[in-house]
Amino acid sequence: MEPDNHLVVKNVVKHYPIRKGLFSKIVGNVHAVDGVSFQIDRGKTFGLVGESGCGKSTLARLLMSLEPLSGGQILYKGQDISRFSKKHIFEIRRKMQLIFQDPYSSLNPRKSIGHSIEAPLVTHGIAANRKERRELVTQMMDEVGLDVEQFKRYPHEFSGGQRQRVCIARAMILEPEFVLCDEPVSALDVSIQAQVINLLCNLQKKRNVTYFFISHDLNVVKHISDVVAVMYLGRIVELAPKNVLYKRPLHPYSQALISSAPEVNLKQKKKRTVLTGDVPSPIDPPKGCHFCTRCRYVEKKCTNEPSPELIEVEHNHFVRCWLY
Ligand SMILES: Nc1ncnc2c1ncn2[C@@H]1O[C@H](COP(=O)(O)OP(=O)(O)OP(=O)(O)O)[C@@H](O)[C@H]1O
Ligand SMILES: [Mg+2]
């Protein structure tokens, strides 16, 4: 493994026990994340796509040490952060920041936006005094395209796009090295989405931050990512550089997903593959390949044998399927 990998995730698992009865006996497990491995290089964007409930946000919480792992390892610049103490996690939080989907609920409605952007500086003891902090906040507001005059305004006085700019400013003010964005533009209009994505791209160029970018929207992920991973029922089923994945998806699930994305499909003029059936429950996922219940190429092996591993089919192109 190369030492300049910013984040290395090894076989990460998260199971939530299901308890029932008077004695809270464990009767099963939700397999929210079921053996996920990948790595991200510094200054690059790793995009994660997948249907609702496939485990994207759970994986995000694990990467940010907001929940303990059930198994596996997360190495941040070579250090195993999954075994970090609370004190260490607090320290690393300055370098690893989060941006959520709903900018309204992630801002305190009783705090002016200036104070919200300033708060992390206070928490982490950055800047000597209030005057210095205010200077940093106004610089940051300017950088994300907010009017400095709006310092004292409250979140409800802003549009969704502006509120997301506030959240981006609040994350970036700590000069993080790694920013995890969980569906950051999904609640915004398409035109505003493009502005926010461009802002994120510009900030990345200037500051060399690494992004982990989650979205269910293939077009958004295509725009921003260097590498894209497709997740299905707790597992990454395909992982490749963006252009390779969108041009030549190999996993039957990625093929169906990409062929049904309106804009991506428009350019390629390919026939659409419609997925039939529902996503199986993560409480009791299929024994073999997780996609076997909906796959049009399904064979006996797919249901009977233990799950296939993620293998490198061509340079940097990984697939988890018996077809390859
Ligand atoms: N704390 C929890 N306890 C039990 N099950 C959970 C918990 N958190 C998540 N899950 C389950 O784990 C699975 C993955 O959820 P997750 O929120 O990670 O999906 P997601 O891919 O982010 O979906 P969406 O696109 O809708 O945001 C779901 O089946 C969910 O019900
Ligand atoms: Mg989610």
Mutation pick for ligand 1 pocket among 30, 61, 102 (CB with most ligand atoms within 8 Å): 30
Report the separation in Å between the CA atom of 125 and the middle of ligand 2, taken as the mean of its atom positions.
Answer: 31
Write down the H helix ranges in 72-189: 86-93, 113-123, 130-143, 160-172
Please give the domain boundaries of the chain with CATH numbers for all domains.
Answer: 5-95+176-319 (3.40.50.300)
Which comes out higher in pLDDT, residue 2 or 11? 11
Give the ligand with the smallest distance to the CA of 100: 2
Take atom 4 of ligand 1 and give the residue whose Cα is closest.
16
Q: Which residues pair with 31 in a beta bridge?
A: 15
Across all residues in the chain, what is the average pLDDT? 92
Whole-model pTM above 0.85?
yes
Beta-strand runs (E) in 21-164: 25-41, 45-49, 71-76, 79-80, 96-99
User: Is 234's pLDDT higher than 50?
Assistant: yes
* Secondary structure in 3-state letters for 232-270: ECCEEEEEEEHHHHHHCCCCHHHHHHHHCCHHHHHHHCC
Mutation pick for ligand 1 pocket among 56, 102, 230 (CB with most ligand atoms within 8 Å): 56
Report the separation in Å between the CA atom of 173 and the middle of ligand 2, taken as the mean of its atom positions.
Answer: 25
User: Is 114's pLDDT higher than 90?
Assistant: yes
Q: Which residues line ligand 1 (CB under 6 A)?
A: 16, 30, 32, 50, 52-58, 216, 282
Q: Of 79, 113, 117, 114, whose CA–CA distance to 97 is shortest?
A: 117
Per-residue pLDDT tens over the stretch 273-308 = 788 777 888 998 888 899 999 999 999 999 998 888
Residue 106 pLDDT: 85
Residue 273 pLDDT: 78
Residue 194 pLDDT: 94
Report the separation in Å between the CA atom of 141 and the middle of ligand 1, taken as the mean of its atom positions.
Answer: 33
Per-residue pLDDT tens over the stretch 74-94 = 999 999 998 888 899 999 999
Per-residue pLDDT tens over the stretch 241-262 = 999 999 999 999 999 999 888 7
Give the ligand with the smallest distance to the CA of 58: 1
Take atom 17 of ligand 1 and give the residue whose Cα is closest.
57
Angstrom CA distances, 206 to 181, 195, 199, 255, stand at 18, 17, 11, 35
